[in-house]
């Protein structure tokens, strides 16, 4: 007898997607967890930062892991959640644990590009012009409520995110390394907002949803505040730098040693291809989406102390990597379908290599 849930998934995803058949994988994927020098640095950084951020943030482990994946993959993260769910606190705690400079920009309707990247100022004493750098010249930038500022200002930030440099009066200025942007947006307020265009959303490596913490985690958070925790003073909250200068760059270089077998690579491509041919979508995953899936799955494998990517790694990062890159047709939205549900149905329909 056919499971009704399977039938529903088959309705969501057409059968003729041109998906490759399941491909047997080498025995390497059947081995136990492997510790190699190629992933040791990534694993140690992830563990240290997780533990340090856990001193301030309770109940958001999945989001913290997502931030770490974006950081190690040299990408940027978009956080979506209601106010008061520790989005700002996570960015500050991450910067503190990495011993990086941190700045926060509150995006408003009257914010101009020069307010972010900087401008040229005339000095009356020296009778010369000099460049006054904006808050974007930092290692960790929190772009708070990015959807509240006009497209011109959004574009200035997103261009800097892509190129890691800005232009001020015709001169190029390199941004610090690392340069990591954490942008936030509120999912419930649409009055006076400027939703990010799809092409600009695609610049974010992941879109992470920040939900309410569970009961036990919220109790732990209240207990922390009862003991005197001050989210505005990271130094007084016992959050200390746990990464030495140069370790992050070294960890990123070690990611090149993470391997992915041909069958797993074909599986990744089949997932992205399925989003391009499904009738529920106006826009499927781009080649950049496939590259992003590869980058994130490699980091996840290294964070779990493995030197190879498995299909489960790809599955785990598929939702945050794809959810903001897919556009549903209006009729699908009227039926209540979400991009997360669609990605789940794709993951269920595409054969997993064995």
Q: In this predicted model, what pLDDT tens digit does every residue of 298-340 receive, in sequence order?
A: 999 999 999 999 999 999 999 999 999 999 999 999 999 999 9
My answer on whether 163 and 67 are in the same domain is yes
My answer on whether 294 and 169 are in the same domain is no
**Dist CA 325 CA 285 (whole Å):** 6
My answer on whether 227 and 107 are in the same domain is yes
DSSP state of 238: T
Task: For 39-58, write each residue's pLDDT tens digit.
Answer: 788 999 999 999 999 988 99
41 lies in some domain: no
Task: For 87-119, write each residue's pLDDT tens digit.
Answer: 999 999 999 999 999 999 999 889 999 999 999
> Which residue among 231, 250, 269 closes a domain?
250
My answer on whether 168 and 195 are in the same domain is yes
> Which residue among 216, 250, 284 closes a domain?
250
My answer on whether 187 and 94 are in the same domain is yes
Handedness of CA 135, 165, 76, 306 (dihedral sign): negative
39 lies in some domain: no
My answer on whether 275 and 172 are in the same domain is no
> Which residue among 194, 221, 250 closes a domain?
250
Contact yes or no for 127/167 (Cβ under 8 A): no
157 lies in some domain: yes
87 lies in some domain: yes
Say whether pLDDT at 17 is over 50.
no
Say whether pLDDT at 68 is over 60.
yes
My answer on whether 53 and 174 are in the same domain is yes
Question: In 3D, which of 296, 243, 239 has the Cα closest to residue 90?
Answer: 239
40 lies in some domain: no
231 lies in some domain: yes
Number of domains in the chain: 2
347 lies in some domain: yes
My answer on whether 240 and 264 are in the same domain is no
My answer on whether 234 and 272 are in the same domain is no
**Dist CA 123 CA 126 (whole Å):** 6
My answer on whether 162 and 208 are in the same domain is yes
37 lies in some domain: no
Say whether pLDDT at 169 is over 60.
yes
Q: What is the CATH number of the domain that holds 55?
A: 3.40.50.300
Q: Kindly give, in sequence order, each residue whose CB lies less than 8 Å from that of residue 202, ignoring residues fewer than 6 positions away.
A: 286, 288, 289, 324, 325
- Reading the block at residue 199, the tokens are 């092409």
Average pLDDT over residues 220-235: 79
My answer on whether 352 and 217 are in the same domain is no
pLDDT for the residue numbered 13: 42
Which residues form the domain of 275?
1-32+258-354
Q: What is the CATH number of the domain that holds 330?
A: 1.10.8.80
């Amino acid at each position: 007898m056919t499971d009704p849930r399977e039938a529903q998934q088959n309705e969501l995803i057409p059968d003729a997607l041109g998906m490759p058949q399941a491909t047997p994988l080498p025995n390497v994927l059947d081995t136990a967890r492997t510790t190699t020098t190629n992933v040791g640095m990534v694993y140690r950084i992830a563990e240290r930062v997780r533990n340090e951020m856990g001193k301030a943030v309770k109940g958001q482990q999945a989001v913290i892991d997502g931030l770490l994946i974006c950081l190690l993959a040299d990408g940027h993260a978009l956080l979506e959640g209601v106010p008061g769910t520790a989005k700002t606190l996570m960015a500050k705690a991450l910067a503190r644990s990495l011993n990086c400079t941190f700045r926060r920009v509150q995006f408003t309707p009257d914010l101009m590009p020069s307010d972010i990247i900087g401008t040229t100022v005339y000095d009356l004493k020296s009778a010369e012009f000099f460049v006054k750098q904006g808050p974007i010249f930092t290692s960790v930038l929190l772009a708070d409520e990015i959807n509240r500022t006009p497209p011109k200002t959004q574009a200035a930030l997103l261009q800097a995110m892509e190129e890691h440099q800005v232009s001020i009066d015709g001169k190029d200025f390199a941004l610090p390394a690392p340069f990591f942007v954490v942008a936030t947006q509120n999912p419930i307020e649409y009055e006076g907002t400027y939703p990010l265009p799809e092409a600009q959303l695609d610049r974010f490596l992941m879109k992470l949803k920040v939900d309410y913490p569970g009961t036990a985690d919220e109790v732990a958070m209240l207990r922390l505040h009862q003991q005197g925790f001050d989210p505005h003073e990271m130094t007084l909250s016992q959050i200390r730098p746990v990464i030495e200068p140069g370790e992050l760059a070294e960890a990123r270089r070690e990611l090149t040693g993470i391997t992915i077998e041909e069958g797993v690579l074909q599986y990744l491509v089949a997932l992205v291809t399925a989003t391009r041919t499904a009738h529920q979508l106006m826009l499927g995953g781009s080649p950049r989406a496939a590259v992003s899936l590869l980058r994130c799955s490699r980091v996840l494998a290294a964070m779990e102390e493995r030197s190879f990517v498995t299909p489960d790694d790809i599955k785990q990062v598929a939702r945050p990597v794809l959810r903001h890159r897919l556009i549903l047709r209006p009729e699908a939205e009227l039926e209540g379908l979400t991009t997360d549900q669609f990605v789940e149905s794709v993951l269920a329909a595409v054969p997993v290599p064995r």
